[in-house]
Chain A
Amino acid sequence: MKPLLTVKGLVRSYRDGKTVVPSVKGVSFTIGEGECVGLVGESGSGKSTVGRLLLALEKPDQGEVLWQGEPLTALGSRAMRQIRRQVQVVFQDPAAALNDRLPVWRSVMEPLDNYPDVCPFFLAGVRQSRKACAAKLFEMVGLQQEQLDRYPHELSGGQQQRVCLARGISLGPKLLICDEPTSGLDVTVQAGVLKLLKRLQRELGMSYLFISHDIAAVMQMSDRILVMRDGRIVDRFASGCMFNSSRHAYTKMLVMASQ
């Protein structure tokens, strides 16, 4: 598989008063085209930081991120902007990830408004009308047309997360980073969102980095799984090999804990 994204030796720490707290201590992996990579770990293991580093919301202290072989740090702002649209995100808390003062369709259209010349194949024919684009995206994530003009607080958590998902796919990205996309949702709603994620990946040919502490969800979604602990990747394997005896002790512990 051709690597879409390569991460080499990422290090990132935060400052808390006078002490420096390392969050990510040297993480390397690749994500292939069309592949879904799961990143599992307990809270505080640094997995969300990895997500933010990939989104270029933060800069790594050391190490680099290569996009199709090119280091992000070496890019000018214009080239960076072109790559940025290829990597989109769905966050954990959909209520916080939507501006509560904007009708949801405006949030969905935000990426497309910023890139007026981008037209992914599924929006061909409706791209000239913003409302029609939003309607099409709503349809793709299983939301009703009447919900376009709603405000976030008028929707349920699952619906809000679908709105975020619509925003995440709107530019037809090559990589979607899902940072605990189902953790804030009811168990019954989780299954629906996971199924939707799976279907969209197939239809749009996206790669996923699926970050979660829920090993069952990760296994259901991913082709390959990385296990992270204290800022390092301690285990990596194809998801079919989850129960192999050669698994790292920590992985076994996570599996045990989830059953």
Chain B
Amino acid sequence: MIRICHTLWKSAIAPGPFVMLGATALAFLIALMLAAPWLAPHDPLVVQMADRLQPPSLTYPLGTDHMGRCVLSRLLLGMQSTLGVALLVMVTVALIGVPLGMLSGYIGGRLDSFLMRVLDGAGALPEFVVAIATAGFLGPSLGNLLVAIVWVKWIGYARTARGVVLSERKKEYIQAAQTAGSGTWTVLRRHLVRQVLSPVLVIGALDVGKIMLIISMMSYLGLGAQPPAPEWGAMLNEGRPYFQTEPQLMLYPGLAICLAAACFNLIGEGLRDRLDKRGGLR
């Protein structure tokens, strides 16, 4: 892992200020997420009807919601199901799409034309329609939503990886590697993985933001994470009836989503600019 980071750093992208800003903020958020169980002052699920809709105080730094639950604790622990899950989904999707795309691009032939058909077919539907379909037919839950997201998102990674491999495959260093006795696996592992890595990192960073937005959007509609789970979108959904009198119930989780998504977008955009300048993408 450290070696990969080092290689990326030296060979591909010395990050600019935007990336640094985004990465620092993100590191902070992830640290918060990991430390949330110890930082949160209250149990995010404990209902205290006596304390409902409290303004901020020493006991409840951000006040309480309509069931008397501590908003700060819910925000902190909700990170896992928004930020954490989005990260996890991105990694899963990359792990499915990238190897398939690389293999298909490198080997070509029937496998490749078959995969292209699948990509065209599965990729034709916007993820949102698939998400509605799964939520509709299989029931609204976070699990079903994640399946729908994975189903659609791996395609982008397979496409990107395939594209990079197709353009790199023609270069002489691949022929040199074959002459040097490297088999298919060795060429993929030693040469092509590191070529694919930086463009994948860019779409990965941008995707985490998008995945987070779609999870929270579906949860907001009531089709994703279900109450009482402290997912940010679901919190917004629960705060809806108190919107006019207690707008902060929706503002806090909304801003949290916005902030986290902005981190990933900063990183992704910044990395993309660097890559474009190096001619690494396209």
Contact = CB atoms under 8 A, between A and B. Distances in A.
Q: Does A touch B (CB under 8 Å) in the complex?
A: yes
B182 A164 contact: no
Interface stretch (A2-10, A97-105, A122-130, A221-229): A97-105
B194 A102 contact: yes
Interface residues of B, number: 20
B180 A114 contact: yes
A209 interface: no
B192 to A, nearest CB: 9
Contacts of B186: 114
Given A97-B172, A98-B173, A88 B10 contact: no
A110 B12 contact: no
Interface in B4-21: 7, 10-12
B173 A99 contact: yes
B11 A101 contact: yes
A96 interface: yes
B178 interface: yes
A114 B172 contact: no
A57 B177 contact: no
A251 B190 CA distance: 44
Nearest to B7: A101
Q: Which of B11, B178, B186 has the most CB of A within 10 A?
A: B11
A91 B175 contact: yes
B180 A81 contact: no
Nearest to A151: B11
A96 B172 CA distance: 5
B194 A97 contact: no
Contacts of A25: none
Main secondary structure of the interface of B (DSSP, over half): helix
A115 interface: yes
Given A88-B179, A102-B191, A114-B182, A107 B173 contact: yes
Contacts of B178: 55, 57
Interface in A196-218: none
Given A101-B7, A101-B195, A151-B11, A111 B173 contact: no
Contacts of A98: 173, 176
A57 B172 contact: no
B126 interface: no
Contacts, number: 67
A101 B194 contact: yes
Nearest to A115: B181
Contacts of B180: 88, 110-111, 114, 167, 171
Q: Which of B180, B182, B194, B195 has the most CB of A within 10 A?
A: B180
B141 to A, nearest CB: 42
Contacts of B110: none
Contacts of A55: 175, 178-179
B171 interface: yes
Contacts of B182: 110, 114
A178 interface: no
B176 A164 contact: yes
A34 B186 CA distance: 32
A52 B175 CA distance: 9
A84 B181 CA distance: 7
A100 B190 contact: no
Chain A to chain B: the 8 pairs with minimum beta-carbon distance, closest first: A114-B181, A111-B180, A97-B172, A101-B194, A96-B172, A91-B172, A101-B11, A110-B180
24 contacts: A52-B175, A55-B178, A81-B181, A84-B179, A85-B181, A87-B179, A88-B179, A89-B175, A91-B175, A96-B173, A97-B171, A97-B173, A98-B176, A99-B191, A99-B195, A101-B7, A101-B12, A101-B194, A102-B11, A102-B190, A102-B194, A107-B173, A114-B181, A171-B180
Given A55-B179, A97-B171, 18 more contacts: A57-B175, A85-B181, A89-B175, A89-B176, A91-B172, A93-B172, A99-B173, A99-B194, A100-B11, A101-B7, A101-B194, A101-B195, A102-B194, A107-B173, A107-B176, A111-B180, A114-B186, A151-B11
